[in-house]
Structure 1
Amino acid sequence: MSEFKSVQNGLAADRVTVSFGEKFEASAQFDQVFREGMALVEEVAAYLDGAGRRDSKALKPPLSVLYATESMRLTTRLLDLASWLLIRRALKEGEIDREEAKRKRQRVKLKALGRPGHIKRFDELPEALQDLIERSFALHDRIVRLDRAVTSSEAKTGGECPDDMPVSNPVAAQMNMLRQAFGD
């Protein structure tokens, strides 16, 4: 049982809260998501200004209307995602503080309108547009998960990592249950 007490004491001593938001912003993962997001924005802009114009002119109503609707939704979605990424980067670079980031984030709407599975005749749109829409939703879903994790972490820590903040430790809870059941 001395090993048990040693592990238990080690767990109690290691109660440290880590802010996911701060760690994420400083990580290579954030840099990768940022690069991917901005590259997708540039790719969509190039498509809509180039090959997308030609593709849209070749479509007849109602597909031409669907193309216009979906390209606007795509652009809006990417603007929101780019805004989120730029806010997080500005926070990382120290250009804004957490309060300003929070205010700016509240204006960003990460809504997922027009999922491909819900769009009639989606499969009749140009393949390039379909691909860009699907990739934008993949990025959207990734950013929504990150936003929830960052927001949850910041709500729990106030954006900071206090050393004395109590942390739920499931391993310690299980160890306590074992100790109660079998004694020291």
Structure 2
Amino acid sequence: MNTHRIRRQVVEELYEETLLLADEARATFDMRSRETVEPGTEPARIALSIEGLRTTTRLMNLLAWLLNQRAFFAGELTPAQVRMSGKLSQDRPSDPVQMDRLQPVVRALVRESERLYARAERLDTQLQREGDEGPAKTLQSRLASTFEQQ
């Protein structure tokens, strides 16, 4: 299997996982479905709002980046156009204080969004590095590092 096909498959899998998680996040952070705030729960509601905004922003940034990657693999964007569309923006991690106020299931959803974003960041870094060096230089670097390890 060539590198191009592997990357395409990774992007497709990330895209599917992100879509599913975005739908779950939408349902989890939909404040309209919450009943009126009970006394003493205001900090938890604020934490839900803060982390909900961070999580949905993270997922929307990730989806936008993945859609550009998919357009490239579909032949709709050139390598130069994909590079111009930009690197994946740096993620803003969750706030530990706010996370402590959330229910475990909500914390797990936030952590899953961070995990998916970290996977995409690694892929983006690799793609950026290869774009700077070109495929031949990248292969030479990988071969050199493999032989150095032995």
TM-score normalised according to structure 1 size? 0.65
1:156 pairs with 2:133: yes
For 1:140 and 1:166, locate their aligned partners in 2 and report how far apart those are by CA, in whole Å: 26
1:123 pairs with 2:100: yes
Percent of matched pairs sharing the same residue = 21
Q: With a CA cutoff of 8 Å and minimum separation of 6, indicate the structure with the bigger relative contact order.
A: 1
Q: 1:112 aligns with which of 66, 89, 92?
A: 92
* Cα displacement (A) at 1:72: 0.5
Give 1:12-31 correspondences, 5 Å limit. 22-26=4-8, 28-31=9-12
Partner of 2:115: 138
Root mean square deviation of aligned Cα: 3.1
Q: Deviations over 1:115-155 (max 9, x none)?
A: xxx52152331233211101001101111111111111111
* Cα displacement (A) at 1:105: 2.2
Give 1:75-114 correspondences, 5 Å limit. 75-106=56-87, 108-114=88-94
* Cα displacement (A) at 1:53: 3.5
Q: Deviations over 1:4-26 (max 9, x none)?
A: xxxxxxxxxxxxxxx95x35433
Q: Secondary structure at the match of 1:73?
A: helix
Q: 2:51–2:99: 8 Å Cα contact kept in structure 1?
A: no
TM-score normalised according to structure 2 size? 0.77
* Bigger helix share: 2
Q: 2:140 aligns with which of 144, 164, 167?
A: 167
In 2 relative to 1, CA 78–121 (structure 1 residues): closer, same or farther, beyond 3 Å? closer
Q: Secondary structure at the match of 2:130?
A: helix
Gaps of 5+ in 2: none
Name the aligned partner's letter for residue 129 of structure 2. Answer: S
1:45 pairs with 2:45: no
